[in-house]
């Protein structure tokens, strides 16, 4: 069972109002999600193999696809990084990235759009328990992706999202702010890399205006996020990593994207400051 190919008028209106739309059961858990989970199970095994670690795991079952990952992290955090880099090359993941339903949703939510897949804008997040360094602080997607201002993030969990595992938090309706200025941290060598170094300017004032929602979604569910909706990672206090899919699409017909030629941002080796200097201030300049 997966999406029936249509969105109701109420869903389209809710997305326009909230900058966010949850579509339960968008993906088929057996044919879309389980093959990705199985691929991850295989990659974890290959990382074990590469490092001479005996693989004593049970055979793959979807609910426990990430068995063996916490012990890898405990042994050496860099092995987690190897898994992270490898899993976005799983064929079933790339197949789902290009699923025609993403284009259909894009065109239903953005009338007249010409959808594109943001190169470097897709991946599988692994938000590990009690780890802060790679949590996404409050942000809009556009500065870290560029391509077009009216893009969409397709976010979907590979594990059941519970309060303890740290659901993503969204400021409902915050896309109405338009493009928000950011602070950069050019002079701090200890700052997190790339997009992680950006902070919303006047973050507290922005946040207090909006209701925060933290959807508890299940594998197969889809969260569609406007590129301007302010959101942040939750805190994972559970014993399991929070695995989730991100596919990002943009619009070739967006005036801002047409203006800069659909350039990518940090993941494409571009510094956001060079494309939108008017939106940037160094943290030291405040
Ligand atoms: O999953 C998360 O913690 C953050 C997700 C996010 O920022 C995104 O998908 O754009
Ligand atoms: Fe994001």
129-159 pLDDT per residue, tens = 999 889 999 999 999 999 999 999 999 999 9
User: How crowded is residue 278: how many other Cβ atoms within 10 Å of its Cβ?
Assistant: 7
Q: Residue 231: which pLDDT band, with cuts at 50, 70 and 90? A: very high
Predicted confidence at residue 208, as pLDDT, reads 97
Which two three-digit tokens encode residue 181?
């200025």
Instruction: Give 176's Cβ-side CA count (13 Å radius).
Output: 12
* Cα 248 to ligand 2 centre (Å): 10
Kindly tell me if the per-residue pLDDT of 192 is higher than 70: no
**pLDDT at position 271:** 87
Phi/psi region, residue 134 (left: phi>0; alpha: psi -120 to 50; beta: rest), is: alpha
The pLDDT, as a whole number, for residue 198 is 87
Q: Is the pLDDT of residue 119 over 60?
A: yes
Statement: residue 240 has pLDDT above 90: yes
Distance 49 CA to ligand 2 centre (A): 33
Q: What is the pLDDT of residues 210-229, one digit of tens each?
A: 999 999 999 999 999 999 99
Query: Ligand 1: which residues within 6 Å by Cβ?
Result: 125, 127, 136, 141, 153, 155, 168, 231, 233, 244, 246
Average pLDDT over residues 273-286: 82
For a substitution probing ligand 1, which of 121, 136, 141 has the most ligand atoms within 8 Å of its CB?
Answer: 136
From ligand 2's centre to the CA of 273, what distance in Å?
A: 18
Task: Ligand 1 pocket test: pick from 118, 123, 155, 159 the residue with the most ligand atoms within 8 Å of its Cβ.
Answer: 155
pLDDT for the residue numbered 284? 66
pLDDT of amino acid 227: 98
Q: Which residue, judged by its Cα, is nearest atom 2 of ligand 1? A: 233
E-assigned strands of 99-241? Answer: 115-117, 123-127, 152-157, 169-171, 182-184, 199-200, 212-213, 222-226, 231-232
Residue 190 is predicted with a pLDDT of: 58
The backbone region for 269, taken as left when phi is positive above 0, alpha when psi lies in -120 to 50, beta otherwise, is: left
Tokens of residue 218, six digits: 């299940």
- Work out the percent of the chain whose per-residue pLDDT is above 70: 95
* Residue count (the chain): 286
Res. 268 pLDDT band, cuts 50 70 90: confident
């Amino acid at each position: 069972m997966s999406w029936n190919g249509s969105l109701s008028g109420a869903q389209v209106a809710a997305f326009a109002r909230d900058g966010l739309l949850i579509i339960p059961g968008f993906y088929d858990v057996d044919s879309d999600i389980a093959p990705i989970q199985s691929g991850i199970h295989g990659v974890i095994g290959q990382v074990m193999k590469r490092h001479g670690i005996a693989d004593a795991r049970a055979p793959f079952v979807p609910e426990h696809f990430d068995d063996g990952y916490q012990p890898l992290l405990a042994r050496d955090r860099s092995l987690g990084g190897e898994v992270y880099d490898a899993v976005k090359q799983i064929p079933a993941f790339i197949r789902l990235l290009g699923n025609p339903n993403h284009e259909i949703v894009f065109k239903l939510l953005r009338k007249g759009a010409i959808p594109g897949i943001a190169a470097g804008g897709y991946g599988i997040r692994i938000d590990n328990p009690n780890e802060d360094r790679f949590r996404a602080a409050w942000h809009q997607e556009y500065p870290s992706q560029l391509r077009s201002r009216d893009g969409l993030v397709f976010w979907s969990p590979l594990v059941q999202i519970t309060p303890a595992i740290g659901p993503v938090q969204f400021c409902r309706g915050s896309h109405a702010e338009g493009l928000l200025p950011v602070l950069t941290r050019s002079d701090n060598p200890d700052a997190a890399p790339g997009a992680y170094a950006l902070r919303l300017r006047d973050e507290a004032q922005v946040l207090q205006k909006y209701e925060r929602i933290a959807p508890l979604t299940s594998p197969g569910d889809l969260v569609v996020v406007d590129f301007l909706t302010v959101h942040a990672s939750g805190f994972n206090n559970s014993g399991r990593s929070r695995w989730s899919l991100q596919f990002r699409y943009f619009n070739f017909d967006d005036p801002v994207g047409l203006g800069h030629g659909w350039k990518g941002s940090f993941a494409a080796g571009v510094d956001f400051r060079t494309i939108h200097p008017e939106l940037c201030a160094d943290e030291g300049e405040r």
